[in-house]
């Protein structure tokens, strides 16, 4: 009887360990959620930060921080937008919408079905994204018709500590009740100028 109890105890302990390991794996699954930075290729300085959020399996990317250049207008708005984003401030604007995970390829996790806005002219393009296997870079592609006719940009993940640098407006709108220095593994539903966005497919 004692041997049977010991065997059952060992079985339950092993099962619990498997469940904990599986939960840990799911929790650490790569995701586009978080802060991302676009860097100027020539100066290696930041151009813009994006905050990606997830709500019921759909992802959106909003402008989370802008790096104005000398001569840029303060508090720019999307005056060229033609949808609900018209005349909205660029800071906090949802630039990427409706992205959904669509599996894996040799580069990493793929997101498709969404759109990306070019605030320079208000045009909206089809979009897809690929999250690198190491979860540290995000390749964003805007295109017309088929993805072949488009262009890529690579954004780089920022550490959790960068959350403390976000404007209170962005925090209040997209991270209500969240500590900006805490974990970013949460689920939720600027550019220096519009000229720097450059999403129009070539």
pLDDT tens-digit profile, the chain (202 residues): 544 443 444 433 443 333 333 333 334 578 999 999 999 988 899 999 999 999 999 999 999 999 988 888 889 999 999 999 999 999 999 999 999 999 988 889 999 999 999 999 999 999 999 999 999 999 999 998 777 778 899 999 999 999 999 999 999 999 998 755 444 444 333 333 333 334 443 3
For residues 16 and 35, what is the distance between their CA atoms, to the nearest angstrom?
Answer: 34
Clarify whether residues 146 and 183 are in a common domain: yes
Q: List the CATH number of the domain containing 133.
A: 2.40.128.520
Residue 119 CB neighbour total at 10 angstroms = 25
Clarify whether residues 148 and 115 are in a common domain: yes
Q: Are 47 and 40 in contact (CB under 8 A)?
A: yes
Tell me how many domains the chain contains. 2
Q: Quick one: pLDDT at residue 93?
A: 97
Residue 46 tokens read as 């930041």
Residue 50 tokens read as 């994006």
Clarify whether residues 8 and 38 are in a common domain: no
Q: Quick one: pLDDT at residue 47?
A: 93
Q: Quick one: pLDDT at residue 69?
A: 86
Clarify whether residues 23 and 39 are in a common domain: no
Clarify whether residues 114 and 84 are in a common domain: yes
Clarify whether residues 109 and 10 are in a common domain: no
| DSSP element (H, E) containing 125 | strand 123-132
Clarify whether residues 18 and 42 are in a common domain: no
Q: Tell which residue, 108, 99, 113, has the closest CA to residue 56.
A: 99
Clarify whether residues 94 and 183 are in a common domain: yes
Clarify whether residues 90 and 38 are in a common domain: yes
Q: For residue 201, is it within any domain?
A: no
Q: Tell which residue, 178, 186, 61, has the closest CA to residue 115.
A: 61
47-95 per-position pLDDT tens digit: 999 999 999 999 999 999 999 888 888 899 999 999 999 999 999 999 9
Report pTM: 0.74
C-alpha distances in angstroms, 65 versus 86, 164, 169? 19, 11, 10
Range of the domain at 77: 34-196
Q: Quick one: pLDDT at residue 12?
A: 36
Q: For residue 9, is it within any domain?
A: yes
Clarify whether residues 39 and 138 are in a common domain: yes
| DSSP element (H, E) containing 142 | strand 137-143
Alpha helix ranges (H) inside 159-199: 168-174
Please tell me what DSSP assigns to residue 10: H
Clarify whether residues 53 and 17 are in a common domain: no
Clarify whether residues 39 and 53 are in a common domain: yes
C-alpha distances in angstroms, 23 versus 20, 50, 197? 5, 28, 39
């Amino acid at each position: 009887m004692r041997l049977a109890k010991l065997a059952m105890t060992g079985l339950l302990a092993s099962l619990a360990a498997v469940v904990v390991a599986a939960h840990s794996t799911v929790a650490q699954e790569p995701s586009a959620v978080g802060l991302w930075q676009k860097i100027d290729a020539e100066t290696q300085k930041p151009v813009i930060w994006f905050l990606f959020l997830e709500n019921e399996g759909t992802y959106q990317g909003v402008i989370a921080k802008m790096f104005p250049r000398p001569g840029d207008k303060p508090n720019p708005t999307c005056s060229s937008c033609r949808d609900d984003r018209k005349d909205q401030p660029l800071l906090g604007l949802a630039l990427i919408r409706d992205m959904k995970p669509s599996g894996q390829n040799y580069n990493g996790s793929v997101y498709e079905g969404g759109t990306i806005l070019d605030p320079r002219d208000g045009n909206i393009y089809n979009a897809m994204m690929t999250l690198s296997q190491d979860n540290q870079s995000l390749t964003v592609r805007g295109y017309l018709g088929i993805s072949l006719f488009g262009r890529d940009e690579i954004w780089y993940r920022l550490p959790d500590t960068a959350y403390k640098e976000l404007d209170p407006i962005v925090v209040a709108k997209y991270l209500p009740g969240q500590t900006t220095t805490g974990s970013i593994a949460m689920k939720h539903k600027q550019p220096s100028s519009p000229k720097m966005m450059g999403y129009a497919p070539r």
